[in-house]
Amino acid sequence: MCAGAAAEDGRAQARRPGKREALKSGEFLVWRGVLKDVIDISLAEKSSREPQKGALRFLPVMQLSHQAFAMAAANLVNNTGRKMLLARIKITGFCCQGKQFQFQHAKGKNMPLSSLVKAVKLKEKKCTLKYVRNLTVSEFSQHYKIEFFKVCRVMKSLSSGDPWFVFLTDSFASSRLYAYMEKKMQTATQGFLLPFMPEISLKYFLGLFSESVSVQRVNQWQPPLVQAIFSGDPEEIRMLIYKTEDVNALDAEKRTPLHVASFLGDADIIELLILSGARVNAKDNMWLTPLHRAVASRSEEAVQVLIKHSADVNARDKNWQTPLHVAAANKAVKCAEILIPLLSSVNVSDRGGRTALHHAALNGHIEMVNLLLAKGANINAFDKKDRRALHWAAYMGHLEVVALLINHGAEVTCKDKKGYTPLHAAASNGQINIVKQLLNLGVEIDEMNIYGNTALHIACYNGQDSVVNELIDYGANVNQPNNNGFTPLHFAAASTHGALCLELLVNNGADVNIQSKDGKSPLHMTAVHGRFTRSQTLIQNGGEIDCVDKDGNTPLHVAARYGHELLINTLITSGADTAKCGIHNMFPLHLAALNAHSDCCRKLLSSGQKYSIVSLFSNEHVLSAGFDIDTPDSFGRTCLHAAAAGGNVECIKLLQSSGADFNKKDKCGRTPLHYAAANCHFHCIETLVTTGANINETDDWGRTPLHYAAASDMDRKCLEFLLQNDANPSIQDKEGYNTVHYAAAYGHRQCLELAYNGHHQALEVLLQSLVDLDIKDEKGRTALDLAAFRGHAECVEALISQGASVTVKDNVTKRTPLHASVINGHTPCLRLLLEVADNPDVTTPKDSLHLGVIRVWGKEPGSWIMTGHEECVQMLLEKEVSILCKDARGRTPLHFAAARGHATWLSELLQVALSEEDCSLKDNQGYTPLHWASYNGHENCIEVLLEQKLFHKFYGNSFSPLHCAVINDHENCASLLIGAIDTSIVNCEDDKGRTPLHAAAFADHVECLQLLLSHSAQVNAADRAGRTPLMMAAHGGHVGAVDFLVNIAKADLTLKDKELNTSLHLASSKGHEKCALLILDKIQEQSLINAKNNALQTPLHIAARNGLKMVVEELLAKGACVLAVDENGHTPALACAPNKDVADCLALILATMMPFSPSSSVTAFNFACFKKDSLGRTHLCDGSAMGSINSYNKPLSNNIGTEDGYNENDSDSETF
């Protein structure tokens, strides 16, 4: 790689935030288990403070090499029995070649070891540790008031030696790591995953997850029982329990003392706590049980004790992870060996669809992978993104795991949902050994994902030069375009780390001038991202410097657009044409000025090249010592127009100093001042006016800059400046209309927007000549409505004083200015409006205000804006509005308060409402405030409502509040309802016979399924159409729900709906292959394999019809009858035909080819289905009579039965 490229990449490295942050107090810098910097987690103690007597102890001064120093620092934080030591290393000085040096930061912080070593080159020299002090966890916690649990978690993580998965030591779910990797490091549109940073702050890494494990200050100490557990003193624990210390006490995160003991892996203390009444299956706020904690700590003794006392081995946390998942991720092989015999399956998936095998493969735990495979783990199991264990092992570069998986039959060509293969995954992360292994196995090197990207594209995008070199050596197509026409060279040109990749591609024959579908060449891509050294490489290798894209832009235009000054300099030096016209005939200078890049403007202005062009308005050639900066584009706009629109004063001054005409007009007659005013650039307006621009210059329609400022100014500065500098608001246009008349003709845009933006001074000027104050815009809004909506009290007062009506309604929501003021809680405006609204003509709309909870249409029909402005509510209550007033759909303010989550309001309003005689809290569709609160997940509102006996029994719409809660995955709300009312509500039915379990299955909310079933919900309950929750999930293609219902809840697979469809029929009918395979995996009975629905279709008919190859293979392997005939006389083979005519033709062909055909109209006799056994002998497999070919009475897709589920057209749910 050339020196320039290295310099460029160095600058890019420096620009990336967070790559190597300075060591901060309380942080640990870790690199795959190796301590890289001096650890200092002291939060308060000064470096000069002497250790307290009895609390601290000195270690002897040691002579250490650099390597020994690092090892000692790491060892000091290791676990020593139950006494974990917290190392605090202070280096105040050291000897180097006889000379004493002091190295400390300016604020007295410790110098990181890496910086210290770099400064004095200690690689082979000795250093003297001045002193090293150790604190026990108990001492540290008491001294600095830090929670024991958090300190110990940090110490445990540091001593685990595996920072990649340190969060699993704290029982974090692996899915959180996946989510973090994909959220933070996924490429913009095409890439698989960017490389993971090898060295990051542990505090920062763990802080990305919902539960931080970093050391933090806390106000409350842990209970004495927890402290005793950490100290490992059973006698003290017994004494505390004897003193009635609560053995099930919860901390802020709902963790019990048993969680702590399990985390530490202390089997004796675990036994003691359980015998003292500790709940063995207690869950914290992440639903982690003590068994999860014990497994994460790899303590088989603790696991055995917990299981002996009936710990739930199938317990799931909020990420649906069982202890086996945690064991797999933490390499707890012995714990897994204990757990697996107690499990029904090792293929249980978590929230992300990942099995224990996924976690083990991701971590590279070869022993765990071996164990799981030996115990029957599905090697080709896929997660919710269709990624298999092989994808993750390949991405992480675990060569042995990849080899093991392949040897056990893993598909090396498998693809995820976006078409990424293991080769893509390995290439994205630079795993060269995996890439070589896969290529040696003969995988397709140019295999594309759904975006058309090959592994070479991905490697170039991520800057993996070694992989790029390997792929090229194996014959990868260096000019392969993706779906948008981008080649690997385009990606290398754009990538942050692609400099060397670009050189490799160019040296191996990549076309440097190849263009994408939108005409962009690799040189354009370097211009977009400012890769100036790569642009030099491309130009030196024949890149066309002035090539144009489909908009006519050259790389110079693009560089000017994005403000890359160095690249502009490179292009100009290489001979780029600065007078080349691009989009709309604009020069690069236009684009630089329009995007406010003053440095680029200066570079282009000083390039010294003359423009030689023909003006669009004359045939005169412009040749000058510099260039004509007043040359217009296709719309007559000069560079000064562009600068005024861009808003950079420096650009305007540069152009003015070069002689730009500030009164030049475009084809619409607008000057640069018009553009500056329209874009509300105050300083640009100020500069142009000071220079002498005509402030009252009109365009072709007679508009002055004041018109544009009035329409766009948000803070009034521009408008006020123009008025102060003699801008005339009464100027008439060419037809004789002044500003106000013109505003009225075009919907009163100026007048209305002055009100909307609060320009009361200008508004007062306009109002003097305005005849009708209630003229509306296209949406029927008056000036008073808009002023009230934005809360401009002065404008409201000015309009009211001139006689504007407060009762005029708009055309869309039928709101009045009163409504508009309440929506955004503008109390001063509301007060002014209510003073006028006291007369009888204005009292009618007050009931529709809904006490500050207003229904208005949003961006989409049916959207709601529900506000919570207490002052407005209080003011309206003083006006004695009705608490139970209803809107057009029968909804009261209580409905809206509950839907929005205003618990305080709800409580107050509910007390008033319940005191009235006619207290009807059902809307037109029977929904109560409890329905709304449950649907939107407002636990505080549910608690308020459940305090009233009225809501202790469901009433109103039969689609109950519990249905509403689970259909939106509000499991906490569902739990509140079940606990407060009765567990029997888990089986309540709506008017279609659907239970809450149906709703949870329909919406694929596994947590809610788990909650309902734990309260005895009927897993096989059937609705009016005969469908069970499993059928609902299968019909919707919800893999998570199907997996849970089939493998965990053991739903009955033999049940049929009223159309005689089984869950397998339904899954196959909608093309949901994964769901069908999950169900099929549990079916062995031939009666289910060949079950027929009302249309006499078997699952094989339907799967074949929908092209479900894997389902068909599995059905055939399980003995599905290939000669079964449906009501149309078609076998599964004929069901593949797209229509009746094709099926009939195929039947005739088969009849000719075969002695007799099951669907032949010539055959007049019945026959049985045949199947060959393992010896090739044909025997009967079904004795049912078959019919001949009949005409299609109805499409095959409708033979499954009518769709029935929760959809937008359901009357039960349309309002939600």
Res. 228: pLDDT tops 70: yes
| Residue 36 domain flag | yes
- What is the per-residue pLDDT for 735? 56
Sheet holding 29-31, edge to edge: 34-35, 29-31, 200-201
Cβ atoms of residues 274 and 261 within 8 Å: no
What would the mean pLDDT of 182-188 be, rounded to a whole number?
A: 32
Res. 488: pLDDT tops 60: yes
Helix (H, G, I), strand (E, B) or coil at 157: helix
Angle between helices 137-144 and 224-231 (to 10 degrees): 150
- DSSP codes joined into one string, 507-561: HTT--TT---TT---HHHHHHHHT-HHHHHHHHHTT--TT---TT---HHHHHHH
- What is the per-residue pLDDT for 875? 62
Cβ atoms of residues 1017 and 997 within 8 Å: yes
- What is the per-residue pLDDT for 441? 93
Q: Which structural domain, as residue segments, surrounds residue 1130?
A: 1073-1198
The least confident of 97-106, 220-229, 446-455, 1154-1163 is 97-106
Cβ atoms of residues 428 and 422 within 8 Å: no
- Find which of 413-427, 851-865, 886-900 is predicted with most confidence, using mean pLDDT: 413-427
If pLDDT is split at 50, 70 and 90, which confidence band does 535 have?
Answer: very high
* 839: Cβ contacts below 8 Å, ≥ 6 apart: none
Average pLDDT, rounded, for the chain: 71
Alpha-carbon gap, residue 576 to 572, rounded angstroms? 5
Q: Which residue has the higher pLDDT, 193 or 971?
A: 971
Q: Which residue has the higher pLDDT, 106 or 410?
A: 410
C-alpha distances (whole Å) from 328 to each of 159, 338, 751 are: 19, 13, 68
| Residue 1134 domain flag | yes
What would the mean pLDDT of 367-392 be, rounded to a whole number?
A: 94
- Which tens digits make up the pLDDT trace of 1171-1196? 334 333 333 344 333 232 222 233 32
- What is the per-residue pLDDT for 681? 92
The least confident of 223-232, 716-725, 782-791 is 782-791
Alpha-carbon gap, residue 1167 to 1148, rounded angstroms? 18
Query: Could you tell me the pTM of the whole model?
Result: 0.55
Q: Which of 334, 401, 335 is nearest to 363 (CA)?
A: 401
Res. 190: pLDDT tops 60: no
- Find which of 603-607, 750-754, 776-780 is predicted with most confidence, using mean pLDDT: 603-607
Q: Which residue has the higher pLDDT, 721 or 96?
A: 721
Alpha-carbon gap, residue 1116 to 759, rounded angstroms? 76
Res. 757: pLDDT tops 90: no
- Which tens digits make up the pLDDT trace of 196-226? 222 333 333 333 333 333 333 332 456 788 8
Tokens 């005169």 sit on residue:
620
For residue 574, which amino acid is it?
A: S
| Residue 954 domain flag | no
- What is the per-residue pLDDT for 921? 78
C-alpha distances (whole Å) from 482 to each of 450, 491, 1000, 1042 are: 9, 11, 40, 36
If pLDDT is split at 50, 70 and 90, which confidence band does 324 have?
Answer: very high
Residue 109 DSSP class: P
Helix (H, G, I), strand (E, B) or coil at 864: coil
- Burial (Cβ within 10 Å: 0-12, 13-18, ≥19) of residue 219: exposed
C-alpha distances (whole Å) from 902 to each of 245, 869, 907 are: 38, 10, 9
The least confident of 270-279, 426-435, 622-631 is 622-631
Q: What angle do CA 530, 532, 533 make, to 5 degrees?
A: 140
Res. 662: pLDDT tops 60: yes
- Find which of 95-109, 163-177, 293-307 is predicted with most confidence, using mean pLDDT: 293-307
HEC secondary structure over 174-235: HHHHHHHHHHHHCCCCCCCCCCCCCCEEHHHHHHCCCCCCCCCCCCCCCCHHHHHHHHCCHH
Helix (H, G, I), strand (E, B) or coil at 1117: helix
Helix (H, G, I), strand (E, B) or coil at 131: strand
| Residue 256 domain flag | no
- Which tens digits make up the pLDDT trace of 669-728? 999 999 998 888 999 999 999 999 999 998 988 888 887 877 676 566 787 788 788 888
Res. 1099: pLDDT tops 80: yes
Q: Is the dihedral of CA 616, 622, 627, 628 positive or negative?
A: negative
The number of helices, as runs of H, and strands, as runs of E, in the chain is: 63, 15
- Which tens digits make up the pLDDT trace of 621-660? 332 324 678 889 999 999 999 999 999 999 999 998 888 9
Element (H, E) at 264: helix 257-264
| Residue 474 domain flag | no
Res. 1020: pLDDT tops 90: yes
- Beta bridge partner(s), residue 79: 84
Helix (H, G, I), strand (E, B) or coil at 659: coil
Alpha-carbon gap, residue 134 to 25, rounded angstroms? 17
- What is the per-residue pLDDT for 825? 67
Cβ atoms of residues 79 and 156 within 8 Å: yes
Residue 398 has phi, psi (to 5 degrees) of: -85, 90
Print burial letters for 1028-1042: b (CB count within 10 Å at least 16), e (below 16).
Answer: bbbbbbbbbbbbbbb
- Domain limit, last residue, from 131, 165, 199: 165
Alpha-carbon gap, residue 748 to 738, rounded angstroms? 12
- What is the per-residue pLDDT for 908? 72
| Residue 1130 domain flag | yes
- What is the per-residue pLDDT for 773? 57
Cβ atoms of residues 792 and 823 within 8 Å: no
| Total count of domains within the chain | 2
If pLDDT is split at 50, 70 and 90, which confidence band does 476 have?
Answer: very high
What would the mean pLDDT of 474-492 be, rounded to a whole number?
A: 96
- Domain limit, last residue, from 165, 185, 212: 165
Tokens 């086996």 sit on residue:
324
Res. 193: pLDDT tops 70: no
Cβ atoms of residues 906 and 887 within 8 Å: no
| Residue 994 domain flag | no
- What is the per-residue pLDDT for 628? 79
Alpha-carbon gap, residue 1090 to 1186, rounded angstroms? 14
Alpha-carbon gap, residue 836 to 858, rounded angstroms? 28
- What is the per-residue pLDDT for 708? 80
Q: What is the CATH number of the domain that holds 1128?
A: 1.25.40.20
Angle between helices 323-330 and 366-374 (to 10 degrees): 140
Alpha-carbon gap, residue 999 to 1009, rounded angstroms? 9
What would the mean pLDDT of 402-423 be, rounded to a whole number?
A: 94
Res. 172: pLDDT tops 90: no
For residue 790, which amino acid is it?
A: R
Q: Which of 48, 31, 166 is nearest to 112 (CA)?
A: 31
Within 13 Å, how many C-alpha atoms sit on residue 252's CB side? 9
| Residue 58 domain flag | yes
Q: Which residue has the higher pLDDT, 529 or 767?
A: 529
What would the mean pLDDT of 269-277 be, rounded to a whole number?
A: 92
The least confident of 144-148, 370-374, 1023-1027 is 144-148
If pLDDT is split at 50, 70 and 90, which confidence band does 245 have?
Answer: confident
Long-range CB contacts (< 8 A, 24+ apart) of 431-434? 431/394, 431/395, 431/396, 431/397, 431/467, 432/466, 432/467, 432/470, 433/397, 433/399, 434/394, 434/397, 434/399, 434/402
